[in-house]
Amino acid sequence: MSRRRSGGCSGASVRAAFVILTVALSTVLGTCSVDDISSSNELFASSSSSSPTASSRPARSEQLLLVSSSSLTTERSRRTPLKMSVEQELDAARAAIQRAARRRRRRRRVVDPAGRGSGNVTTADEWFEAGVDHALVASVYRNPAAFHRSYREMERRFKVYVYEEGEPPILHAGPCKDIYTIEGRFIEQLELMAPPPPAGGGGGARTSDPARAHAFFLPFSVSKMVQFAYRPDTYDKTPLRAIVADYVRVVASRHPYWNRSAGADHFMLSCHDWGPEASRGHPELHANGIRALCNANTSEGFRPGQDVSVPEINLYTGDMPRQLLAPPAPPLASRPFLAFFAGGRHGHVRDLLLRRWKGHDPDVFPVYEHEHEHSHGRRQQDGAPLDYYWYMRRARFCLCPSGYEVASPRVVEAIHAECVPVILSDGYALPFADVLRWEAFSVAVPVADIPRLREVLERIPAPEVERLQRGVRLVKRHFMLHQPPERLDMFNMILHSVWLRRLNLRLNR
Ligand SMILES: *[C@@H]1O[C@H](CO)[C@@H](O)[C@H](O)[C@H]1NC(C)=O
Ligand SMILES: *[C@@H]1O[C@H](CO)[C@@H](O)[C@H](O)[C@H]1NC(C)=O
Ligand SMILES: *[C@@H]1O[C@H](CO)[C@@H](O)[C@H](O)[C@H]1NC(C)=O
């Protein structure tokens, strides 16, 4: 989309972008108040997790207390008494999460065989959703107790420093009304978030004191680079790589943090198809950094343990589509269609799908080419295709084939519509898979099985479809965007994915 809108960009704007970066004017971004670590501790006082490792570890604070040359941060550091070093905090969080994971395993061994597991749920389960089916939670989350603890530790401790260098539109801004929306929303929500967190949890991750940060965010938008610095139809990605290289050079020369870790505690986020390509601009970012990407194609170098898979979400108006979210999504019994798809013939997966299934059986298995074929090009007031959401709410399965790239906004749309997503892709590392078991709320069909797709879906027994839909309802909150962010929503789940990478912990089990 941005690619199409990039008309009019010229070499002049590329040079302009370089000047902006090289001059690296510090922008004044909102007003972040000083971190108040003690107040966030109070918020979760009940979940205290004093770690034995924290006090027994030799302090490595000399290095970690290195203060940047900026007078702002020097002043902040003096005013904020440091209780634990950043590394000690991470150790304490790791220990608490591992304890929770072990408790969980013990409970399963001891409690479940005795048949007493059902009525008396764990704190974690209660926290996920009061009254929720214990077995459902256990099947959807890899390790509910460890995730609960990890998330709480994140809320309590995780601090991200956002580099202030650079100016919009390429830095500190991103698209807000298209398929790459999450770039703009993530940057905006992170930059606007100042401690203390709003009631009910959520915010508070940003710190203006880099000495207290566990992670460092590079706030560039690859979509905006494509819009402003890419020459249409050239497929030349050199300007994107050059901007990334320039930005990393600037922050590495002005602050000590990049060189300290060779980029390993730094992250970027891009939803654009060319995010991975842009990350090649700086070899250390590409090799060591945490890359949060929608284009999470493992065949193209996406590393599930180190990178973060970000859901793609298309907000036509900048808001979540109301037609998908309200009124409440129909139950399976009111869904006459087995499966639904409408979309363009982008890439080989779509081509295969459309060649086999387009027009095959519109009453049961509606598959349309072009998003708007079924609505004859008419659109709703908010720009969304006329009947697209209507179909999603009346199908039991929603087909989510890869397009030119692996990710598809249909996955999130299907979840919003409580339609079980059918993932048709090869090599797609799914979002939040470190926490969620996708097989509990979606169906993955290998591209090679597309010719048998209808049969595969028809063979899934009704109670199983029922169970999958309940899984979809349970995870829906993780795919919602709120303004400001809410506990466990998409913004915070992305942040949690970064937190886990920074901890270098796996929650599997
Ligand atoms: C189980 O229920 C008992 C009695 O209400 C309560 O004391 C105990 O804390 C509960 N255990 C869990 C793990 O919820
Ligand atoms: C970090 O390393 C680069 C490359 O060696 C160097 O140019 C830069 O000055 C260093 N940054 C700091 C803050 O020392
Ligand atoms: C993923 O990457 C591989 C290797 O570059 C490519 O052949 C494939 O088409 C990509 N998948 C999608 C859906 O774009």
Query: Which residue owns the Cα nearest ligand 2 atom 6?
Result: 253
CA of 297 to the centre of ligand 3 (A): 7
Is the entire prediction scored with pTM above 0.85? no
Domain of residue 310: give its range.
Answer: 156-315+487-504
pLDDT tens digits, 190-210: 988 654 444 444 447 999 899
Residue partners of 119: CB distance under 8 A and separation at least 6: none
Residue partners of 48: CB distance under 8 A and separation at least 6: none
In a domain, 396, yes or no: yes
* pLDDT average, residue stretch 295-304: 96
Do 394 and 279 lie in a common domain? Answer: no
Do 370 and 436 lie in a common domain? Answer: yes
Q: What is the average pLDDT score of the chain?
A: 79
Residue of 120, 127, 134 best suited for mutating to test ligand 1, as the one with most atoms within 8 Å of CB: 120
Whether 145 is in the pocket of ligand 1, judged by its Cβ within 6 Å, is: no
Query: Which residue owns the Cα nearest ligand 1 atom 8?
Result: 120
- 444 pLDDT tier (thresholds 50, 70, 90): very high
In a domain, 263, yes or no: yes
Do 397 and 298 lie in a common domain? Answer: no
Angle, to 10 degrees, between the axis of helix 238-254 and the axis of helix 11-23?
Answer: 10
Residue 226 contacts residue 14 (beta carbons within 8 Å)? no
In this structure, what token pair is assigned to residue 351?
A: 């081509």
Residue of 273, 295, 299 best suited for mutating to test ligand 3, as the one with most atoms within 8 Å of CB: 299
In a domain, 136, yes or no: no
Residue 463 contacts residue 402 (beta carbons within 8 Å)? no
In a domain, 90, yes or no: no
CA of 352 to the centre of ligand 3 (A): 15
In a domain, 27, yes or no: no
**Atom nearest to 254 CA in ligand 2:** 13
Do 173 and 304 lie in a common domain? Answer: yes
Do 165 and 309 lie in a common domain? Answer: yes
pLDDT tens digits, 235-293: 999 999 999 999 999 999 999 999 999 999 999 999 999 999 999 999 999 999 999 99
Query: Which residue owns the Cα nearest ligand 1 atom 5?
Result: 120
Q: In this structure, what CATH number is given to the domain that contains residue 402? A: 3.40.50
Do 373 and 296 lie in a common domain? Answer: no
CA-to-CA distance for 102 and 98, rounded, in angstroms?
Answer: 6
In this structure, what token pair is assigned to residue 69?
A: 């040359």
* 502, containing H or E segment: helix 490-503
* pLDDT average, residue stretch 469-488: 93
Residue 502 CA from chain centroid, whole number: 15
Query: Which stretch of 118-132, 150-164, 318-332, 407-421 has the lowest confidence by average pLDDT?
Result: 118-132
Query: Which residue owns the Cα nearest ligand 1 atom 13?
Result: 122
Do 211 and 332 lie in a common domain? Answer: no
Query: Which residue owns the Cα nearest ligand 2 atom 5?
Result: 259
Residue 177 contacts residue 18 (beta carbons within 8 Å)? no
* 5, containing H or E segment: helix 2-5
- Judged by its nearest atom, the ligand closest to the C-alpha of residue 116 is 1
pLDDT at position 237: 95
Do 252 and 184 lie in a common domain? Answer: yes
Do 189 and 306 lie in a common domain? Answer: yes
CB-defined site of ligand 3, < 6 Å:
297, 299-300, 347, 349, 402, 404-406, 425, 427
In a domain, 56, yes or no: no
Quick count: other Cβ atoms within 10 Å of Cβ 62?
8
Query: Which stretch of 43-47, 241-245, 505-509 has the lowest confidence by average pLDDT?
Result: 43-47
- Judged by its nearest atom, the ligand closest to the C-alpha of residue 254 is 2
Number of domains in the chain: 2
In a domain, 132, yes or no: no
CA of 293 to the centre of ligand 3 (A): 15
Query: Which residue owns the Cα nearest ligand 1 atom 2?
Result: 120
Do 288 and 260 lie in a common domain? Answer: yes
Whether 256 is in the pocket of ligand 2, judged by its Cβ within 6 Å, is: yes
In a domain, 131, yes or no: no
- 61 pLDDT tier (thresholds 50, 70, 90): very low
CA of 252 to the centre of ligand 2 (A): 6
Do 335 and 271 lie in a common domain? Answer: no
Do 212 and 174 lie in a common domain? Answer: yes
Query: Which residue owns the Cα nearest ligand 1 atom 1?
Result: 120
Q: What percentage of the chain reaches a pLDDT higher than 70?
A: 72
